Chains A and B, each alone.
Chain A
Amino acid sequence: MLRLENVRKQYKDFELDITMEVKPGYVTGLIGRNGAGKTTAFKAGLGLIRTEGEITLFGKPLEKITPADREKTGVVLSDSGFSGYLKVKDLVVILRNFYHEFDEEYFKGKCKEFDIPFDKQIREFSTGMKRRLQVVAALSHNAKLLIMDEPTAGLDVIARDELLTMLREYMETEGRSVLLSSHISGDLEGICDDIYMIDDGKVVLHEETDTLLDEYCILKVTKEQYETLDKSFILRQRKEEFGFSCLTNEKQFYLENYPDVVMEKGSVDGVMTMMIRGDGR
């Protein structure tokens, strides 16, 4: 669906250098600290910034993508949205003319469900309301790929859950894909098939979510245990007051060979913290 290969973007004090792919039928998550390069990666994938490297969308180089191809994508951006001077009732007419497959009934229905006012300028909306509007618009025209940068930002727990339910429903149709980022790791764990972790503009880990949750763990070892620990499968380690935290992707190996070692179950947050703050072996 979307592939970024050796995509580079150089800024004065930051460089994005990334290779990643959103496969058909996949929900791919992008996670990283603030300023890690998530939004830059999204913008690169959408052709909003000029980059080096190769980007393909629906199998076509990005520079050959037409507005008709763009109709097959639904987009939510964290730092940009519909003009604040428009009203939702204006958007209905505009989206009808932007997208051949715009589902007006769905759009209006979801706006009503989310209490999004039709006759108020968007700039008067709360952050959460603006986000919900973007998500509803992105889902309303039978897009094949959703590209969503922080779609749950500013939403309360209930609204987040509703949004994730909408994404799950969206994925029930075959051949669709989603690329999304969230600073709430629970959102990604619950919906993503695979996750890219990026830090300082680079991918530090790419893993299937199930593998990450099932096979990764953090070993909590004392200094003595650390000395005797087989470090062949340790990806990152970090000095702690009690000794060391060690990230591994071979939980079973350590379960079988070091039954006395305390193990913390793999989680997106835990793995990300270790991948970013921990030292290599």
Chain B
Amino acid sequence: MKGLFIKDMKLMLGQIAFLIIIPVVGALIVGPTGQLDMGFGYITSVSGILAVTTINYDSYDNGYAFLFALPVSRRGYVKEKYVFALISSAVFVLVVGGFLWLLVTVVHPGNGGRFTEFAEGMWSSYMIVLSVLSLMIPVFLEFGAEKSRYIILIIFGVFMAVMAAVSIGETFSSFLDAGIKGVALLGLNAAFLAGSYAASCSIMENKDF
């Protein structure tokens, strides 16, 4: 797993220009208005995508065949993908989120908000990223980068439509306070991730390369 993790780190750091652009774009989004919520929305969408790009790199040019001829088990590969995605997205949310919070605090002292609000926003962002990853990792492993874009779009469209229809968000918010919501979201995501991991293992173990 260590070798795979280092490989993914190297692949991610290979996109250094892209990594630098992300907080810059974030600054352009929240800088003028001081609205940190917009920044969190941006971080959430970008970090989910960033965490699964290494899957694209692995599958590019039939790379899986060679990868699984190395000392890498399919289950070990899946495990590493989840660990890497969880850690890298956490670091990403923390670093870019922290940067944007500092920016808003400095540029718009009145809008910066309290640290607890910022921390809650970060936590919510990360929880959404986990849900996104639970969905994206098995889809990317099964269908590859090209087809996955369309599938993810369709799934998210359906998901948003269902959420809007039943107003789950509002109902949920009205009954629970922030602390309980945070823990409940974590539990829900843990269940999603466990199901997603099992699905991903099954996908990879039944694939021919």
Contacts A83-B11, A83-B57, A94-B10 given: A71-B71 contact, CB under 8 Å? Answer: yes
Is A90's CB within 8 Å of the partner chain B?
yes
Is A86's CB within 8 Å of the partner chain B?
yes
Q: Tell me the residues in window 1-35 of chain B with beta carbons closer than 8 Å to chain A beta carbons.
A: 2-3, 6-7, 10-11, 14
User: Is A97 within 8 A of B2, CB to CB?
Assistant: yes
Give how many B residues have a beta carbon under 8 Å from the other chain's beta carbons.
26
A-B interface contact total, Cβ < 8 Å: 89
Partner of B63, one of A49, A73, A80, A121: A80
A interface footprint on B46-69 (CB within 8 Å = 1, 0 otherwise): 000000000001101111111011
What residue in chain A is nearest B62 (Cβ atoms)? A80
Chain A interface helix/strand/loop/mixed: mixed
Give the segment of A28-36, A62-70, A163-171, A220-228 that binds chain B. A62-70
Contacts A81-B63, A94-B10, A97-B6 given: A48-B69 contact, CB under 8 Å? Answer: yes
Minimum C-beta distance from B36 to chain A (A): 33
Partner of A75, one of B3, B57, B66, B206: B66
Minimum C-beta distance from B152 to chain A (A): 22
Q: Tell me the residues in window 185-209 of chain B with beta carbons closer than 8 Å to chain A beta carbons.
A: 206, 208-209
Is B76's CB within 8 Å of the partner chain A?
yes
Is B45's CB within 8 Å of the partner chain A?
no
Contacts of A93 in B (CB 8 A): 6, 10
B interface footprint on A69-89 (CB within 8 Å = 1, 0 otherwise): 011010101011111111100
A to B CB contacts below 8 Å, 21 in the list = A43-B65, A43-B209, A46-B68, A46-B69, A47-B68, A48-B208, A67-B71, A70-B72, A73-B69, A75-B70, A77-B65, A80-B63, A81-B61, A83-B7, A84-B63, A85-B14, A87-B14, A90-B14, A98-B3, A98-B70, A134-B66
Q: 9 shortest A-B CB distances, which residue pairs?
A: A97-B3, A80-B65, A67-B71, A98-B3, A80-B66, A70-B71, A75-B69, A90-B10, A49-B208
Interface residues of chain B, those whose CB is within 8 Å of chain A, are: 2-3, 6-7, 10-11, 14, 57-58, 60-66, 68-73, 76, 206, 208-209
